[in-house]
Structure 1
Amino acid sequence: MSFLILGLISLIGLVFSIAVVVFYIGCLGASMAALSRGRMVWGSLSFFIPPLSLLFALRHRDEAGWSYGFMWKGGLVVVLIVGGLWLGLHLLPEHAAQGTEALGKLLPQPQPQ
């Protein structure tokens, strides 16, 4: 059973890392599209702050081309994984969600001197 859990976590991590790479390749493509079209401000800002490329691609979808799809799909997978993990942590029972209190019950109490 522990091997199954480890494999599932590894698979989720692999999918997450591929989604982040796809998102940033899309950001780089939108930055290069902006720079090649002579939009120096958009291109330079989105190169140094990659999520700004999504704003450029939303406004100029025809100029961004394929990079808009990369950003959209990669970003959607990242949001779904992070949101699913966050929701999963909040749906756990109270005793499992607060591991520090449970760990305190397991450790021996210090002896007064």
Structure 2
Amino acid sequence: MDGIASPGLVREVKQRLQRIHTDGILETGYIEEFIEDAPFSIFPTISNTERPDVVAARLLEGRAAIFIGGSTTVLIVPHLMLESFQSAEDYYSHPYYATMLRFLRLFAF
């Protein structure tokens, strides 16, 4: 996957993970608390999923994924606000139809 994600993004994720000093990590939520930019923001900057197809799609979009051993949840960074209006099923629909549904979700919000 070399060359898809920005080297700066990968470097930043690695640096943030190396700064974590704790006795144990039981779930991805622990990691999320340590590495997020704005912990008090109402908008997420880190997304999570258990779906392999979503992780693969985000990796192909140039994002970084953080896997935790023993957990089925994967963290994906960065998370853009507009991604909150996407559904995993959008990838299986016709692009025009999926775009229309995203606009409808945004309008409803």
When normalised by structure 2's length, the TM-score is 0.29
When normalised by structure 1's length, the TM-score is 0.29
Decide which structure has greater helix share.
1
Higher gyration radius (CA) = 1
Decide which structure has greater strand share.
2
